[in-house]
Amino acid sequence: MAAYLDHAATSPLLPEVKRAYLENLDLIGNPSSVHSLGQSARRVVEEAREAIAAAVGAHRSEVIFTSGGTEADNLAVKGLFWHRSGQDARRTVIISAATEHHAVIEPLEWLEKEQGAEVLWCPVNPRGELDLDWIRNVLSDRAPEIAFISLMWANNEIGVLAPISEITALAAVHQIPVHSDAVAAFGHTQVNFAESGLAAMSISGHKLGAPVGIGALLVSRKTNLTEVIHGGGQERGVRSGTLSAALAVALAEACRLAVTDLEAKLEQMSGLIGYLREQVSTLVPEAIFTRGDAPAISGNAHFMFPGCAGDSLLFLLDTSNIAVSTGSACRAGVADPSHVVIATGRSEVEARSCLRVSISPQTSRAEIDQFLAALPAAYASARKAGVSGR
Ligand SMILES: Cc1ncc(COP(=O)(O)O)c(C=O)c1O
């Protein structure tokens, strides 16, 4: 039996989503066509938009379909920067954090290098929590220069939550828009776009049991973005391109399922993660639970295993049919030291010693037990190999 404990990387297609997707795959008609087949496809897309809006707490006109989280983040970051700096040339400063996903960090660094932006990186403590006093001070010192803030709702590696409503409240005093990457948060904590006070928020379908290739950027009706993809003017003119009705339906079904009985699912995932954490601390007392007791999403456990490389552990567990992750990006089959863990003030060696277990509401206790049964031997072997791994 395989234990799949890497839902934060991608979560398997849910049967209900697959059914809804397949039912709409052979729809004929471009949703932008005026004939009746096109209009039928348009209706399907608009119903999906409505369902996504209901699930995330938004208005249907606030849902901009994208190909996934990376595109949603790029559209938010570049679109907000170009719009705000275009309106007022002084607004070139962006507040973000070094613990963001690469889908936010890379466009920010590109804006700095190529487009005259200045990014101010919010410090984080060893548990991964943002320094709100630092944000408060930067806002009061430099508000007229700030284009926007981009801070993720939940960190995809260590699971820690950001106090999004507090951040939007601080920014609102200066009318500064806030974008949040909610790819790791939606379905793993309570997320409501309207209540959050956010100007924009990214979600991704394949983290929720939809196929890869669909996501959305929620953009409040008060917020304007400069378009990033030019073309036929679809999606409020900011993201041109023919929409896939079947993918839109799949995302809608995944979002609907994500929020159905969410409180019970969060409790169940927290229960499994609590059990896992307790057992790991008995089996491997040296293991460090990275975020400590900071507020976090329900389905994530991130550990540092001193004296060994996370990718050694990952490969050893893989031989026992257990799929986990180091949490960080992988180049040529070797894990990079986690930029998130380094940003929390840890050393490169510590940032290479990480292992992330990420679960979904479908995860069983048996899968966790399979991981726990294999862990002590894998840890012993990985320690022998040392911190540099293979
Ligand atoms: C927090 C976060 N943001 C963005 C992304 C990118 O999303 P996608 O894979 O849909 O492009 C990911 C995927 O790992 C993620 O975890």
CB 209 within 8 A of CB 189: no
Q: Where in the chain is the domain with CATH 3.40.640.10?
A: 15-259
Percentage of residues of the chain with pLDDT beyond 70:
97
Q: Do 342 and 348 touch, CB atoms closer than 8 A? A: yes
Range 15-259 classified under CATH 3.40.800.10: no
Convert the pLDDT of each residue in 94-129 to its tens digit.
Answer: 999 999 999 999 999 999 999 999 999 999 999 999
248 CA distance to ligand 1 middle (Å): 18
Q: pLDDT band at residue 390, thresholds of 50, 70 and 90?
A: very low
**Residues 6 or more apart in contact with residue 43 via CB below 8 angstroms:** none
Q: 335 pLDDT exceeds 70? A: no
CA–CA distance, 197 with 169 (Å, rounded to integer): 7
Helix (H) or strand (E) holding 17, with range, is helix 15-25
151-155, 235-239, 325-329, 344-348: which range is least confident on average?
Answer: 325-329
Q: What is the mean pLDDT of residues 198-221?
A: 98
Instruction: Summarize the confidence of residues 164-179 as an average pLDDT.
Output: 98
How far, CA to CA in Å, does 47 sit from each of 22, 125, 166, 237?
A: 17, 43, 33, 20
* Distance from chain centroid for Cα 162: 12
Beta strands in the chain (DSSP E): 3-4, 63-66, 93-97, 118-122, 146-150, 178-181, 200-204, 215-219, 288-289, 300-304, 322-323, 330-331, 334-335, 354-358
Does position 329 have pLDDT exceeding 70, yes or no? no
What is the helix, strand, coil percentage profile of the chain, to 5? 45, 15, 40
Q: What is the pLDDT of residues 254-265, one digit of tens each?
A: 999 999 999 999
Least confident of 28-42, 141-155, 188-202, 356-370: 28-42
**Could you give the residue range(s) of every CATH 3.90.1150.10 domain in the chain?**
261-385
71-92 pLDDT per residue, tens: 999 999 999 999 999 999 999 9
Pocket test for ligand 1, best of 65, 106, 183, 302 (most atoms within 8 A of CB): 183
Ligand 1, pocket-test mutation among 10, 74, 155, 156, most atoms within 8 A of CB: 156
Beta strands in 205-306 (DSSP E): 215-219, 288-289, 300-304
Structure letter (DSSP) for residue 321:
T
> What's the mean per-residue pLDDT of the chain?
95
> Could you give the 3-state DSSP secondary structure of residue 69?
helix
**Ligand 1: residues whose CB is within 6 Å?**
68-70, 73, 101, 103, 152, 156, 181, 183-184, 204, 206, 215
* Predicted pLDDT at 387: 76
pLDDT of residue 313: 96
Q: Is 355 a residue whose pLDDT tops 80?
A: yes
Tell me: the pLDDT tens digits for 37-71? 999 999 999 999 999 999 999 999 999 999 999 99
| CA 213–ligand 1 middle distance (angstroms) | 11
Type of residue at 343: A
Domain 261-385, classified CATH 3.90.1150.10, yes or no: yes
pLDDT of the residue at 334:
60
The protein residue with its alpha carbon nearest to ligand 1, atom 5, reads 69
Note if 122 is an active site residue: no
Show the tokens assigned to 362: 């479908």
